[in-house]
Amino acid sequence: MFENIINNKIIFFYPSHDLGGAQTLFLRCIKMLHSNNIDVGYVDFNDGTLRKELIGTGVDFFDFSSAPFVFDFKVTLVTSFNYMNFSPLFFSGEVVFLFWVVSPLNMPVVNLSKKLNVDLNAKKYIKNRYLGFYNLDLSLSQKSVYFMDRLCFEVYGKEALSYDPFLPLYIDFKNKNLTYKFTAKSYNFAWVGRIDLSIKFNCVVFLVEKFIEYKQIFPNSFVNLTILATGAGVAKIRDICERSEFSKDIRFVEGVPYGDFHEFLSNNFDLVFAHGTTCLESASISIPTICLDGDERVFRSNYKFKWIFDRDDYDVGRTFFDENFSSRGVTFSEIVDSMEYRRGYLSKSSFLVIKGQYNSNFIIRKMVRAIELSDVNIINIKFNGITLLIDYIVHFRLIIKAPILFLKGFIKGIFK
């Protein structure tokens, strides 16, 4: 359908050994484009995440160990925004870029700020010297930056852009035959998603506190909570729950394989709490879904839960919000009441968010349009010593695999 529209070969760049939201997003998009007869490939480690999932599919594989890549044909390179500044190290030739902001921490200088607990972005010298901000402004003007959700846009986007900058997560509906199962005598609620030691940790702490408060008022209620999660924060959450008088009503589950993930949700839970793109996974199989907003601090006392269908378009959780936003929504008790009287409505409304904003036909058209518009090239990307230092620290695991290549790029940047 689109093979005669896109003239460039599409190559995704996200070398990784981990499986997270970005890897899942890129895998789905590669498979979707390939199934529509679009010439697509990817760069990964020989034993990387994308490679393992795409072996035997017919999608072209470019081994990262063979970098740098020199293309004598037209290529649109799709990559996460955090790889913007050192992309010229790995690619040359007829390459244009599409930078996809898939996280509020995608700017390496902001990422490093979090690691060091220092607001580097507020340091005027570093901000002025870190030419990634130049690259951002230029790439926005060249219609080459796209945002997965509203939070990413609020952090890095600009109003009055000359193009539609939203390119949301593509949700795979291969599990569309799964049906939401109503349990008769109990409500099985769940937190689903990785738990870090920052934003998501505080989300789960808040949820557990509200669950315990509810059980203290209604000790005989048939409401249970499952923590389906991995990550550095799980042990601390487990400790908090085990100290509660209602620990028997809270269970922990880890390690559900991705291939079994949706069926497991469908078979076990009546409602899902999550932050970020995980909200879309549960809503895609019609499970009523609450989308939590993260905070690096302890949650505001007046914070209320928000149904995914009561949020703005492409809003799957915020980390910056005011008291007015915090106070809008529903309490835990109101959620339980709604599950008793409005479960069908909650299920349908959650699913319609996915059908309307994240269905495959809609997303592939947006992606094709973004690929057509993206126009920033190798020559446009500026590179200097400050960029080198910050990106090297943030992307150490990736860049250390090609130190000679990185040194060549640095020398090239000095004499440009």
Question: How would residue 323 be classed by pLDDT, with cut points 50, 70 and 90?
Answer: confident
Mean pLDDT over residues 340-355, rounded? 92
> What is the mean predicted confidence (pLDDT) over 93-106?
84
Q: Tally Cβ neighbours within 10 Å of residue 259.
A: 7
Cα-based distances in Å from 315 to 79, 216, 312, 356? 22, 32, 5, 13
Residues 100 and 81 occupy one common structural domain: yes
Q: Give every CB contact of residue 337 below 8 A, 6+ residues apart in sequence.
A: none
Which pLDDT score, from 0 to 100, does residue 124 have? 46
- With bands split at pLDDT 50, 70 and 90, how would you rate the model's confidence at 118? very low
Are 158 and 224 within one domain? no
**Contacting residues for 217 by C-beta, under 8 A, at least 6 apart:** 333
92-103 burial by CB neighbour count: b if 16+ within 10 A, else e?
eebbbbbbbbbb
The CATH number that applies at residue 305 is: 3.40.50.2000
214 in a structural domain: yes
Same domain as 162, residue 17: yes
Tell whether 18 is covered by a domain.
yes
Distances (CA, A) of 218 to 18, 183, 343: 42, 19, 20
> Which of 40-54, 63-77, 112-126 is least confident?
112-126
Whether residue 88 lies inside any domain: the answer is yes
258 and 407 share a domain? no
Q: Provide the 10 A C-beta neighbour count for residue 253.
A: 14
180 falls within a domain: no
Looking at the domain assignment, is residue 177 inside a domain? Answer: no
- Nearest alpha-carbon partner for 170 in 4, 313, 5, 33: 33
- What burial letters (b/e) apply to 334-369, b meaning 16+ CB within 10 Å? ebbebbeeebeebbebbbebbeebbeeeebbebbbb
Sorted by sequence, the CB contacts under 8 Å of residue 294 that are 6+ apart come out as 198, 199, 200, 202, 203, 275, 317, 318, 319
Mean pLDDT of 333-347: 92
Same domain? For 378 and 267 the reply is no
Are the CB atoms for 223 and 316 separated by under 8 Å?
A: no
Q: Are residues 161 and 283 in the same domain?
A: no
Residue 145 lies in a domain: yes
Instruction: Report the alpha-carbon distance of residue 207 to residue 150 in Å, rounded.
Output: 23
> Is the pLDDT assigned to residue 121 strictly greater than 60?
no
Q: Indicate whether 307 and 348 sit together in one domain.
A: yes
* Residue 362 within a domain: no
3-state secondary structure of 60: strand
Same domain, 32 and 114: yes
Per residue in 285-306, pLDDT (tens digit) is 999 999 998 776 666 778 999 9
pLDDT value of position 119: 46
pLDDT score, position 168? 85
pLDDT higher than 70, residue 404: no
Do 194 and 339 belong together in one domain? yes
Q: Which two tokens stand for residue 188?
A: 């099985």
Number of domains in the chain: 2
Q: Which residues make beta-bridge pairs with 69?
A: 91
Residues 78 and 163 in one domain: yes
pLDDT of 105 above 80: no
Give the domain CATH number at 88. Answer: 3.40.50
172-198: average pLDDT: 71
Do residues 121 and 232 both lie within one domain? no
> Averaged over 152-173, what is the pLDDT?
82
> DSSP states of 378-408 as a string?
GGG----HHHHHHHHHHTHHHHTT-HHHHHH
Question: Would you say 305 and 326 are in contact if contact means Cβ atoms under 8 Å apart?
Answer: no
Note whether residue 215 is domain-resident: yes
Contact 54, 42 (CB under 8 A): yes
Tell me the pLDDT band of 311, cut-offs 50, 70 and 90: very high
pLDDT tens figures, 230-265: 888 999 999 999 999 999 999 999 878 767 888 899
Same-domain pairing of 153 and 193 = no
User: Distance between CA 231 and CA 19 in Å, rounded?
Assistant: 12
**Residue 340, domain extent:** 187-357
